[in-house]
Structure 1
Amino acid sequence: MRPEHAALIDGEPLPTDRVDSFLETPFRGAGNGATSHDGAAPARRQPEAPSVARQRRRWATQVVVTDELARRACADRGLEPPPEVSPAKILTLAESDVADLGSIVAAALAHSPAARTLLAALEAEQTVPEAAVQDYYARNQDRFLTPEALRRGADPFGEATASEDVQPYEVVRDRITRELRQAAGRQAFFGWLDQARSTVVYSHGHEHPGDPSHPDHEHRH
């Protein structure tokens, strides 16, 4: 029997219809589900194995739960997410986002204005010490070779990289700071999400796709 709700969040039901609606969203790119990272939306696929369909629903439930948790977190913080995107819009996930974030979080950020708003707020809260920026610059000289050095084939891992082959610290400092702040913001988002969903109670068939308590579990994100 199909459950009326996919999960309980603070005792409040999350309607199964929201998961169904998300599953009907056309996808393009990576992170299409718990068991696949490319292809069309489930409704446009060939019939799939029951275990694959179950995992896809569990994966989708995590995305929708993340959206709902982010909506509540934004409300608590007094943040106003932008309007919802049109349901007809194709959900596009970049391979790099799936690799860095995991398919669940990448899909949630692509799908949920609230999740994107919360992530932006968490990033803005991060403080990046100057020492951390300088240390990153010193340890990653290969990322800051000049175009001329790259064309010449300079070895960034050589014992003595000429100073003129590396962009000055002052030139790349702001870029490094942005990247470190983004990384810290993502870590804060992961921490928030882990804590926020720790008390979510899932209905049968909507458990986390990596939950070992069900036979189809597969620990992918």
Structure 2
Amino acid sequence: MTPNYAASVRGVPIPKERVAAFLNADGAASFRGAGNCATSHNDAAPARRHRQQRRWATQIVVIHELALRTCAERGLAPPDDILPMHLLTIPETDVADLGSIVAAALAHSPAARALLAALEREQEVPETAVRDYYDRNPDRFLTPDALRRGADPYTDPSDIQPYEQVRDAIARELRHAAARRAFFDWLDGARADVEYAEGHEHPGDPTHQDHEHRH
């Protein structure tokens, strides 16, 4: 008998209706907006595309559920436990950096965003790492005048903004990147507690016929 759930987390089922509700509201639009990041089969048959949409949407709903549980375990202010049904814009840079699944999960799930914010607050960036980033990337810190002139960042040190002026911005960027890595580490571990029903596997799972490795 085919189970009436899309996935289960530690034995607790996630109904197929939650995945269908997400797709019927905003999920299909998000999937299309992700373009090749979601699937490389742009001209896929409708049935095949629908299966990939369903698998993709299952991942969003599962990540939301995992994040809800982790927020509760951490004592974070509990976000609304119902997946928002209004579309939030997913920046193309996030899709490129995170993959369409994680980018969409963060866009749609307040629990995932709350967890990411908590992880970012926990990151400690050593001063040596901030300084090293500054020293290795002078092209990123050219003064406005040097940019207008197309100056070579490795020629005249006066063309580079002083470390003290950009130090805090660098630290924020490194902390943000570290939080995203921590989020991926958390997700890798949390997914170990998930079992998927047939037809709801990860889009990149090579065990199903229509798997798509690219995210």
Aligned to 2:17: 17
Do the aligned residues in 2 keep the contact of 1:119 with 1:185 (CA within 8 Å)?
yes
Q: In 1, Cα distance between the equivalents of 2:40 and 2:87?
A: 17
Q: Does 2:80 correspond to 1:80?
A: no
Q: What secondary structure is seen at the aligned counterpart in 2 of 1:167?
A: coil
Aligned to 1:165: 159
Aligned to 2:176: 182
Do the aligned residues in 2 keep the contact of 1:70 with 1:115 (CA within 8 Å)?
yes
Q: Amino acid of the residue matched to residue 67 of structure 2? A: A
Do the aligned residues in 1 keep the contact of 2:52 with 2:210 (CA within 8 Å)?
yes
Q: In 1, Cα distance between the equivalents of 2:162 and 2:89?
A: 36
Q: Does 2:67 correspond to 1:70?
A: yes
Residues 4-42 of structure 1 show CA distances to partners (whole Å, capped at 9, x for unaligned) of: 11001000001111111111233368426832799xxxx
Aligned to 1:35: 39
- 5+ unaligned residues in a row in structure 1: which ranges? 39-46
Compute the TM-score of the two structures, normalised by the length of structure 2: 0.90
Q: In 1, Cα distance between the equivalents of 2:88 and 2:131?
A: 38
Q: In 2, Cα distance between the equivalents of 1:146 and 1:100?
A: 27
For residues 6 and 174 of structure 1, do their structure 2 counterparts lie closer, same or farther at Cα, with a shift above 3 Å needed?
same
Q: What secondary structure is seen at the aligned counterpart in 1 of 2:34?
A: coil
Give me the identity figure in percent.
Answer: 64
Aligned to 1:6: 6
For residues 20 and 85 of structure 1, do their structure 2 counterparts lie closer, same or farther at Cα, with a shift above 3 Å needed?
closer
Compute the TM-score of the two structures, normalised by the length of structure 1: 0.88
Q: How many residues align?
A: 209
Q: In 2, Cα distance between the equivalents of 1:37 and 1:196?
A: 29
From the two aligned structures, give the one with the greater helix fraction.
Answer: 2
